[in-house]
Structure formats: C-alpha cells, structure tokens
Amino acid sequence: MIESLLIANRGEIARRILRTARRLGVRTVAVHSDVDADLPFVREADEAVCVGPADPALSYRNAEAILAAAKSTGAQAIHPGYGFLSENADFARTVAGQGLIWVGPGADAIAAMGDKIRARNLMEAAGVPVAPGTREPVADVEAALAAGIGYPVMIKAAAGGGGMGMAVAADETALRAEFDKVRAFAERMFGDGSVLLERYFPRVRHVEVQILGLADGRVVALGERECSVQRRNQKVAEEAPSPAVTPELRERLLAAAVRAGEAVGYRNAGTVECLLDPATGEFFFLEMNTRLQVEHPVTELVWGVDLVEEQLRVASGLPPTFGTLRLTGHAIELRVNAEDPKRFLPGPGTVTTWVEPAGHGVRVDSGYAAGTTVPRFYDSLMAKLIVFGEDREQALARARDAVAGFEIAGPKSNLPFFAELLENDEFRSGDYDTGIVGRMRGR
C-alpha cells in the first residue's frame, strides 16, 4: 500500500480522502490556498503546505507548486480528487515522470476521454451506443447547419465538462445565435475552442455507471447512479440505484460501461455517463469522467465498498477488497451548496452556525464548520448529505429528516430547495427526468 499521499484538492473531497487514508495508516499531506488555511481538511492532515493565493490558477491548478510540495514533504503519491487537475493528462504524465504514483487512470486514457469527439468515436468503435452527432470538430456555423443532425441540437465544447460549455438550439436561428458563444466560452475556459454537435433529447434521464479498472487489467462495473436532478446542466442530487433502471437494462448498461473502460485500457475509478430514454430503454454514451465523482458515496453505500480505498489499492498494484458484489438498499445524495435556493446563484460567506444531522443511515461529507468561510473563488459545494435505506421509501424519509436537521447560517444554502424536492410528486414517484428542476421553477 502507498505509504504517503498528497491530496491535490480542497474542502469536502480532500477531507473525505483523508478519512480513508487515515484508516489505512497512510501519511497525508494537504495543499491549500491562503484563504483555505483554516478549513478542517488542512488541520486534519499530517502535514499541510500553502501552494498559493486564492486564485485556483495560482494554487490548486498550479502544477509546479503542487509537485514542489510533494517533493518537499516526501509524498509518494498524489490523489487529485475531482476538478482542478484531476483530468489534466499533462499533469498526470508529469507526476508519473517524476517517479510519483498518480492515483487515477493513465494519462493516455485521460487524454482520450477528455476530447469528447475522440471519445465518441472510440466508444462507437467499441460498440457502446452513442447519440447522433458529429464525428469531428465543427468549424463554423455554416458547417454546423450542414451537419444535418436535426433539431433540437446540443452545441458542446469538445474539451468541456461539469455541465459547462453547452447550449441547446431549437432551430436554425438559435443555432446561429449560440454557436459562437459556445466556441468563445470553450476557448476561454478550456483553452480549446473545438465544438461538436449532438442530437438533444428534451425528456431524458441522466444515468451513469461507476467503473473500476483493477490492477490485474480487468474492468468491473459497480452499478448505476441516477443524476437527473440538475440546474444549469449541473447535478445537485443523485441516487443509486436508478428508479428507472430494470435488471435487464442494468445488465446492458454495465456491459457497455465495461466495454468503454476496456477500449482505453482503463485503470482506477471512472464513470461512464449516459442519457437514457425511459420510454424505450435506449441509452447513449455522453462522456467518461476519468476521476472520482462527486456522487461516489451513493455507490459506496449500496455496494458496500470504499472507492477511495479501492483507488489506492489499484494505484499500489494490489487486488480489490471485494469479491462478488451485491446491490443492497437505496442511497440518495444531496449536494449542499452555498447558493440561493430559488435562483441557484452563489452566496458565499462566513459560517456562523453549522449543525450536521446524524442517525442511522445518515452520512455527511463536509468541507466546512462553524467559524470557517466559504470563499467566492471556488465551487459553492459545502457538504454532501447522503442517506441510506433498505428501500427508496426509507431513504426518502431519512433524507427529509436529515434535511430538516441540518442547520447552516451565514452563507446562503440550498437546503430549502431539497426540502421542496423531497416533497415533489415527480421526485417521490421516481418518474422524473433532467427537466424536473426547471418545472419546479416554472421554466
């Protein structure tokens, strides 16, 4: 097993990785920006290094500073968490080139899946269903019109992720209006203005499969997660298993996800994201996230695994802890963000009250505590509230109680939205799609 680990991230995910590392006896190193110095993950690590100012480009995305911290502290491995440098193929390659262990897939797999056009083509060749779309970058609006994908159409940044760099066009006028906006955004945010087109399905579910590429070369799938509760194409609540997935559909989804991983020689944890038409049972490859997902806890609870431990074992060349996997119960995750619960606009600030719910089947992965400050420089995620039940009804009941028992004052929070969601007839029935939040807000 790896003996010392630098965690190149912050907040709740850094703290969550620390928890497993501490249990395994792995020495931990936290890196942080100057504004994060008082956060719990910094105090809880065995050693901490400030790698720069608040601007993530000068701290959490500062590859040179993070590598220097690893060298100065004698860290043996680097875990990138999610976001920041987690899907940066060049950084992964540099880490390995300097004799450190990268806790994630190889740089080649990251690069292959990071380009959405290349990823689509690889998946199609591997027999994974893909939605109708372009097989190469679209140069301009005229080429987009000539592609003949049909309407509505999704315009996507080829190098994008996290729901960013996307727009839907219902007709030619909208396509002309949105194309250059997406291309300019992609260039600014990702340094790559390449754009692709995919047929847009207005009433679909967003379902993803957790895969794990093992040290012996096998790829296994640990079930699916339902991720259709989204605002601005970004997830805010997830559950496992999906209420829309039958055993027969699960078998097809998992088999396709395994083929996707095998196609790129995948190692470590990753997620194959799909769009699902619940009316027909058809699903289409959307993208592969070559990292640990924010929503990984729901998979951990229903499959009885610690995915961070499995990541560390793969990176160490060790076999998994599990043998035959068995799906048990139901889990729901709610992303507690510092944001307005109506318009979902960020609302950072100093936490004056922080009381976490507790009880059987309740888990909180938090990044903050009373007296700490949610800064404006990073994602607004403060904590993840995860509940487990013997079935979905019990999980929903525990989620309602846990939301009511979670007290946060200071920054704004979306806890009132979750109280509303958990009483929503669509969500309670399990028969919902990616438009649920818009319908709740009258859009």
Model confidence at 329, pLDDT cuts 50, 70, 90, reads: very high
- pLDDT tens digits, one per residue of 158-187: 877 667 788 999 999 999 989 989 988 988
For the cut 90, the answer to whether the pLDDT of residue 192 exceeds it is: no
Contact 198, 149 (CB under 8 A): yes
Please state, in angstroms and rounded to a whole number, the distance separating the CA atoms of residues 427 and 381.
22
Instruction: For 246-390, list the strands marked E by DSSP.
Output: 268-277, 282-289, 330-337, 349-350, 353-355, 362-366, 373-374, 381-389
Q: Which of 406, 348, 336, 399 is nearest to 373 (CA)?
A: 348
- pLDDT tens digits, one per residue of 225-272: 999 999 988 999 999 999 999 999 999 999 999 999 999 999 999 999
- pLDDT tens digits, one per residue of 367-400: 999 999 999 999 999 999 999 999 999 999 999 9
For the cut 90, the answer to whether the pLDDT of residue 201 exceeds it is: no
- pLDDT tens digits, one per residue of 272-314: 999 999 888 899 998 999 999 999 999 999 999 999 999 999 9
Cα dihedral 46/51/57/61 (nearest 10): -40
Please state, in angstroms and rounded to a whole number, the distance separating the CA atoms of residues 162 and 405.
29
Q: How many CB atoms are closer than 10 A to CB 371?
A: 11
Contact 59, 52 (CB under 8 A): yes
Contact 219, 235 (CB under 8 A): no
For the cut 80, the answer to whether the pLDDT of residue 156 exceeds it is: yes
Please state, in angstroms and rounded to a whole number, the distance separating the CA atoms of residues 237 and 206.
11
Please state, in angstroms and rounded to a whole number, the distance separating the CA atoms of residues 306 and 285.
26
* Percent of all residues in the chain with a pLDDT value above 70, rounded to a whole number: 99
The predicted structure's pLDDT at residue 345 = 94
Give the type of residue at 186.
A
For the cut 70, the answer to whether the pLDDT of residue 416 exceeds it is: yes
Catalytic choice (27, 250, 291, 335): 291
The predicted structure's pLDDT at residue 189 = 83
The predicted structure's pLDDT at residue 294 = 98
Please state, in angstroms and rounded to a whole number, the distance separating the CA atoms of residues 296 and 57.
26
For the cut 70, the answer to whether the pLDDT of residue 193 exceeds it is: yes
Q: Which of 90, 196, 72 is nearest to 143 (CA)?
A: 196
Please state, in angstroms and rounded to a whole number, the distance separating the CA atoms of residues 291 and 223.
16
What region does 389 belong to: left with phi over 0, alpha with psi -120 to 50, or beta?
Answer: beta
The predicted structure's pLDDT at residue 73 = 98
Catalytic residue flag (residue 199): no
For the cut 90, the answer to whether the pLDDT of residue 122 exceeds it is: yes
The predicted model scores a pTM of 0.91
Model confidence at 188, pLDDT cuts 50, 70, 90, reads: confident
Dihedral sign of CA atoms 345, 347, 348, 351 in order: negative
The predicted structure's pLDDT at residue 162 = 64
Please state, in angstroms and rounded to a whole number, the distance separating the CA atoms of residues 191 and 180.
15
Residue with tokens 């009132």: 416
For the cut 90, the answer to whether the pLDDT of residue 74 exceeds it is: yes
Contact 199, 149 (CB under 8 A): yes
The predicted structure's pLDDT at residue 138 = 87
The mean pLDDT value for 70-83 works out to 98
Contact 104, 291 (CB under 8 A): yes
The mean pLDDT value for 327-348 works out to 96
Contact 163, 157 (CB under 8 A): no
Give the type of residue at 105.
P
Contact 166, 310 (CB under 8 A): no
